[in-house]
Every structure is written in C-alpha cells, then in structure tokens.
Structure 1
C-alpha cells in the first residue's frame, strides 16, 4: 500500500512539473554550429544554395540569425544558426529551402559535416550581432575552449568580466560565448569585428591581456582548444 502511494505521488509530481519543464525549454534559444568540409567541385553550387537558404531563413519569425563563415584558401565553411527556441528550429528544418540544402549536404561534404548544439550561458546571455555592408573586410573568429570540471565556474566568471568590455570596444559587431550542449566542459566563443585593425587593437587592450592571464590554468591543454579566423560569406 505504501509503495503504491509513493508511486502515485511521484507520477502526480511528474505530470505537474512537465508543463513547467516544457515551458522552460520553449524559452531557451536554440543554436547550432555546423562545420561543412566541402568538396572543391561542389563548393560553388553548395554556396549558391546555402545563400538562398540563409536569405529565406532570416525571414522566419522564429529565426534570430543565420551566418555562414569561410576562408579564401579553404573549402571548409561554418554555419551558425540561431533560433528563438527548438520548436522554431524544427519548423525551419521542414522548409523547402532547408530540406534542399540538407539534401545535397552528404554529397557536398562527403558525409564529414560536424554539428554542435550550443546553449546560452545564463550568466553571459548572447546578444544580437550587428550587421554591416559590405562584410568583405570584417574579422570573425570561432574559438573552442575545454576546461576541467572543477574550473568551469571560474572560467565563466572570468569570461563574464571580459565580454562586456569587448562588446563595448570600438568596432565590435558581436561577442558571444556558448556551451556545448553535449559537453558541458566545452565552450565556443564567436567574435565579430568591423575590420582586422580594430580586432588587433582589441587584442592589445588591457582587458584582453588580463583575460589571457586569468585563463591560465583554467583551460585544458588538448587539441580541442583551437581557433579559426574567418570571413562572413553569407551574402
């Protein structure tokens, strides 16, 4: 009898909490960073189709931003897509233009694409990125950090002090940090700057120098700590 009562109570609490949990999930933004190592022969056609996808996706009510990054000397591109919640992203994936891009991705990338689902960090919420035209001379970077579990809180605190200063720096177009949804010890920082000159000035500012010092000992020394300097090739 006692076990039946406890089981019933547990089910009642679960049912009562589920709508709240679902509501909380609906309030969370949804981000994906997709690495697409394209074949040389398929690069131009894929880029044309992807740009149509980006242009149409940006019109969706649930979309926050859609940006494609790449290099002049590389056929590997990175797609950052941000939506107001996961439901909006799932609706987007059913669109004709999204399905068309997904349809040719396996052949264009030789099945080597990598997807990372990103979570906002409550202490350092993401902000909208300023768009400028033309984008050819902008400086963009994606940097991966892996921290030990016991240094994660300290890492977030250190980044939380530096990021507002970087966002207020001259020429900054956006500076956001995300957590890997599948690996809570991995963080991805995406910076956007008006041009390489203001980016170099940012690196020499006191807050950047202090950030480098405070990160010592917090980041694990492994191959996951890498940085890509890229161009915005969305248009």
Structure 2
C-alpha cells in the first residue's frame, strides 16, 4: 500500500482525528461551533491483515489506554466480532473538536498511524455521528471481557424516519433501566439522517437476550420491517471488548 497524504489523513481519522475536522458542515456552521463547542462522537471499522493483527492490536490497545487519559476524552472503546476475525470496531467520544485536534498530535496516535500502510487490508471506514438520545452517566463495568456489545446501523425509508425515530427513542430509557444494561445510545449518521446507529453494552449475553424479549420493544418490532430501506444484513454486529479499561 503506497503512503499518501490522503492515506495518512484517513489513518488519523480512524484512530481519533475525526473526518469531521475536515468537514465542519457535518455538525453545523463553524461559527456556531466556536460559540458553543459540541461533543464529537464517531465509530470506525478497521480491516487488518491476519498476519499483522497481533502487532496492530497491541498498538491500538496502547492508543486506547493513553487516549482515555487525555483531558478531552469521554470514552475510547475497541471491539472485535464475537466470532473472531481481523476486523476492529472503534467507538470514540470526545468533549469537542479541540480535544480531537489535540489527540491528533499525540505520540500514541502517531504510533497507530505509523503501522497503517503495512498492517491494514483495506482503507478504514469512519462515520461521524449525531446524538439523538441524551447522554447518560457511565456505569461501572466489573467484567469487560464478559460483556455483550451490540452495534446496529439501520437505514430507513425517508417517509418512515420521523415515526421510526420517535419509536426508537421510546425504547432508550426502558433499555437503560433493564437488568444488566451498561449503555444504550442512539444516533443518526452525520451525513444521512435516515441512517440510524445504535450502540448497546450489556453485562452478559443472557441479559441482552432477556432485554430483546421485553414488552417495551414491541412497538419498535411492529414497524421495523416496514421501515427498512435496505436489509439489515451486516448492519448488526455482536462485539467483544478487546481493550478493557
């Protein structure tokens, strides 16, 4: 893979310098942002060459550990699929754009960037997010290795967006109050308000599966299929925590 300026920018984006820095319009006019700094939240998917996975993951884990200690970091999570494989999934939350810019200059991020051209099997995919559910206090995680983590991307028909969003948001608080829930956050893609993203954390597989059977999900289940603009397919990922705090 040939090193280019574009590749370096993508590399920094996947590890913490969000593409949002290059496209301020995603979160509104720059003047508004300057007046009221807004949180920056995004996820990224990274496909790693099988033979490079151990080395790349070690550097990414150190990046996650050091990033969490940065003043402007809210959270930095690294996941892999429950079934294994060589795909990493990052979920990052930063206090504001200034925090992301500062992160872009850190040695632990640059250590990730230095490995990208040799270790990745494909260009990373990064998605800036717009939060729809209110921010909730973080809950302590006693056993991160046992958690069930669910990332879901749902593309809905434009005519169903408002109804789907309202019904989805009605599920947030009952889900957060359910036994074993650690987080339940709802977003839409910054560049597509018809693409919803849900990030869930549960203390165990059993508690996640019990949540799916609860009656508060029934209104959403009732409109789910008719709302889809495309099959769910790879939009739902079951993940394991690869870089616990």
Deviation, 1:21, is 4.8
Query: What is the Cα deviation at residue 145 of structure 1?
Result: 0.5
Per the TM alignment, residue 20 of structure 1 is displaced from its structure 2 partner at its CA by 4.2
Matches within 5 A, 1:102-121: 102-121=113-132
Q: Deviations over 1:180-210 (max 9, x none)?
A: 1122211110110000111111011111233
Q: Determine the structure 2 residue equivalent to 1:169.
A: 178
Which residue of the other structure, out of 95, 101, 105, is the alignment partner of 1:90?
Answer: 101
Alignment counterpart, residue 75 of structure 1, candidates 76, 82, 86:
86
Distance 2:218 2:150 in 1: 18
- What is the aligned partner in structure 2 of residue 230 from structure 1? 239
Residues 56-95 of structure 1: CA deviation (Å, up to 9, x unaligned): 1101111000000113521111011110112211111111
CA contact (8 A) 1:147 1:186 kept: yes
Aligned residues: 215
TM-score (structure 2 length as normaliser): 0.81
Give every structure 1 segment of 4 or more consecutive aligned residues whose post-TM-superposition deviation is greater than 6 Å: none
SS in structure 2 opposite 1:127?
coil
Structure 1 residues 128 and 69, CA, compared in 2 at 3 Å: closer, same or farther? farther
Given candidates 63, 70, 74, the residue that maps to 1:64 is: 74
Partner Cα distance (1:55, 1:93) in 2: 15
Q: SS of the residue aligned with 2:226? A: coil
Q: Unaligned stretches of 5+ in structure 1?
A: 1-16
Larger Rg computed on CA atoms: 1
1:31 and 2:36 equivalent? no
**Following the alignment from structure 2 to structure 1, what is the Cα–Cα distance between the partners of residues 143 and 42?**
25
Q: Please say which of residues 208-217 and 158-167 is displaced more in the overlay.
A: 208-217
Structure 2: distance between partners of 1:219 and 1:186: 10
CA RMSD of aligned residues (A): 1.9
Structure 1 residues 21 and 91: CA distance shift in structure 2, 3 A: closer
User: For structure 1, which segment, 104-113 or 33-42, has the greater mean C-alpha deviation from structure 2 after superposition?
Assistant: 104-113
**What TM-score, normalized by structure 1, do the two folds share?**
0.85
8 Å Cα contact 1:142/1:189 also seen in 2: yes
Mapping for residues 1-235 of structure 1, pairs under 5 Å: 19-24=31-36, 26=37, 28-71=38-81, 72-121=83-132, 124-222=133-231, 226-235=235-244
Distance 1:32 1:106, change over 3 A: farther
CA 1:21 to 1:49, structure 2 compared with 1: closer, same or farther past 3 Å?
closer
